[in-house]
Amino acid sequence: DQYGQKLRESKAADQRFMQLALALGRRGLGRTWPNPAVGAVVVNDGVIVGRGWTQPGGRPHAEPEALKRTGEAARGATLYVTLEPCSHFGKSPPCVDAVIASGIARVVSAIEDPNPEVAGQGHAKLRAAGITVDVGLGAQEAARDHAGHFRRIRDKRPYVILKLAVSADEMIGAAGHKPVAITGEAARTRVHLLRAQSDAILVGIGTVLADDPHLTCRLPGMEARSPVRVVLDRALRLPGTSNLVQSARQTPLWVMTSDLAAAPAAMKLGAAGAQAVRVPATAKRPGLDLPAVLNALSDKGITRLMVEGGSRVASSFVAGGLVDEIWLFRGPDKVGADGIPALDALPLSAITGSPAFRTRASEPLGNDTLTVYERV
């Protein structure tokens, strides 16, 4: 009947506007830390009258950005937002106050904010002001987009994305770190996009000494979206002449080191524009205590961390149960039995055959394939 038809149409419209809000929010991924990347859309009588997303550095929040553009058209309108509007006085006044003052009649919110300062009070305050609040549309996608914020708030560590590029024989490099092409151009572009959407990117000192990487996003026009570079370097062996240190004034470089590392080496890094961050060393292992590293990064505001190697670091993260998501790129060629195995002493099946991970998606990329795994 006519009524049912209208209802279906409005449900489809809600879905469409929430998808748009989600897409807008994703624009901020990698740039809004320590805050989540939220998107907001204002719709009046079926017409989009305002759009906004969390700005770089996390402020302004998405809702005031959208409402600022909406003006008077917010009266009686619907606000679609990908996270519960905040209700606390933080670095800015509560977004719910701005929403209430604007005259918005209905709020469609994807998911509750687990931040204890908000945690349902945002929705409650809107309802108390007479606004209709519908929660849960797009919740699954929003939970994925805000996974970094949720991990940081709930577990005091970042959401960890491990990137692996392996040959047909499951190696990540050739013997003696000889340069070898494992994956092609399309995969490389994806990796750089993933870098842009990460707050920070982490490697071990072994990788730096072997490859002297830049770890920046080098997609045309996206250079400014490079993440913070993080190096695990217990004994501060990072050379001042490395590409990382040389570019530390353009793109932040944090060196995670032991609380026992020499002070002069740390000061030298500081003078070059980098930052030494001290965390406890472990007695047993040669490396740093990874949970302590993650905790320190979370304290500094990092919500989405990409781990890029090498094999020892990857293996330690997997063995420690610290990986939330894996981007596994598989190339078509073999490297040979003397290559560097992807996960050091662990077989790759520690991921691909593990009940701890399920396949989220798989797609061909040129001659390679990308499979994304996520924690069950």
User: Site residues (CB under 6 A) for ligand AOF?
Assistant: 35-36, 38, 54, 58-59, 61-63, 83, 85-86, 90-92, 95, 113, 115, 118
Please check if 314 is assigned to a binding site. Answer: yes
DSSP strand pairing (39-44 vs 47-53) = antiparallel
Residue whose CB is less far from ligand AOF, 62 or 100? 62
Cβ-closest residue to ligand AOF? Answer: 90
Closest distance between Zn ion and the C-beta of residue 86, in Å? 3
Instruction: Give the residue, chosen from 51, 61, 151, 304, that forms a contact with Zn ion under the rule CB under 5 A.
Output: 61
Instruction: Give the residue, chosen from 67, 86, 171, 205, that forms a contact with Zn ion under the rule CB under 5 A.
Output: 86
Residue whose CB is less far from Zn ion, 49 or 95? 95
Cβ distance 124 to 93 under 8 Å? no
Please check if 359 is assigned to a binding site. Answer: no
Using the rule CB under 5 A, is 95 a contact of Zn ion?
yes
What CA–CA distances, in Å, run from 53 to 36, 41, 80, 81, 340? 10, 9, 11, 9, 42
Instruction: Please count the residues of this chain forming the interface with Zn ion, following the rule CB under 5 A.
Output: 3
Please check if 316 is assigned to a binding site. Answer: yes
Please check if 144 is assigned to a binding site. Answer: no
Beta-carbon count within 10 A of 295 CB? 16
Closest distance between ligand AOF and the C-beta of residue 85, in Å? 4
Give the residue numbers annotated as catalytic, written as ranges.
Answer: 63
Q: What is the three-state SS of the chain?
A: CHHHHHHHHHHHHHHHHHHHHHHHHHCCCCCCCCCCCCEEEEEECCEEEEEEECCCCCCCCHHHHHHHHHHHHHCCCEEEECCCCCCCCCCCCCHHHHHHHHCCCEEEECCCCCCCCCCCHHHHHHHHCCCEEEECCCHHHHHHHCHHHHHHHHHCCCEEEEEEEECCCCEEECHHHCCCCCCCHHHHHHHHHHHHCCCEEEEEHHHHHHHCCCCCCCCCCCHHHCCEEEEECCCCCCCCCCHHHHCCCCCCEEEEEECCCCHHHHHHHHHCCCEEEEECECCCCCCECHHHHHHHHHHCCCCEEEEEECHHHHHHHHHCCCCCEEEEEECCCCCCCCCEECECCECCHHHHCCCCEEEEEEEEECCEEEEEEEEC
Residue whose CB is less far from ligand AOF, 142 or 265? 142
Please check if 310 is assigned to a binding site. Answer: yes
Q: How far apart are CA 19 and CA 31, in angstroms?
A: 20
Stretch that binds Zn ion, among 18-26, 59-67, 76-84, 338-346 (CB under 5 A): 59-67
Using the rule CB under 5 A, is 245 a contact of Zn ion?
no
Residue whose CB is less far from ligand AOF, 66 or 281? 66
Residues 6+ apart with CB under 8 A from 314: 162, 164, 307, 342, 343, 344
Closest distance between ligand AOF and the C-beta of residue 36, in Å? 5
Please check if 207 is assigned to a binding site. Answer: yes
Residue whose CB is less far from Zn ion, 146 or 188? 146
Closest distance between Zn ion and the C-beta of residue 198, in Å? 23
Stretch that binds Zn ion, among 93-101, 173-181, 197-205, 279-287 (CB under 5 A): 93-101
Binding partner of residue 204 among Zn ion, ligand AOF, none, CB cut-off 5 to 8 Å per kind: none
Closest distance between ligand AOF and the C-beta of residue 277, in Å? 22
Residue whose CB is less far from Zn ion, 52 or 331? 52
Closest distance between ligand AOF and the C-beta of residue 56, in Å? 11
Using the rule CB under 5 A, is 67 a contact of Zn ion?
no
Binding partner of residue 90 among ligand AOF, Zn ion, none, CB cut-off 5 to 8 Å per kind: ligand AOF
Beta-carbon count within 10 A of 183 CB? 23
Closest distance between Zn ion and the C-beta of residue 129, in Å? 16
Residue whose CB is less far from Zn ion, 59 or 268? 59
Please check if 331 is assigned to a binding site. Answer: no
Binding site for Zn ion (CB under 5 A): 61, 86, 95
Binding residues for substrate: 195, 215, 218, 308
Binding residues: 61, 86, 95, 165, 195, 207, 211, 215, 218, 308, 310-316
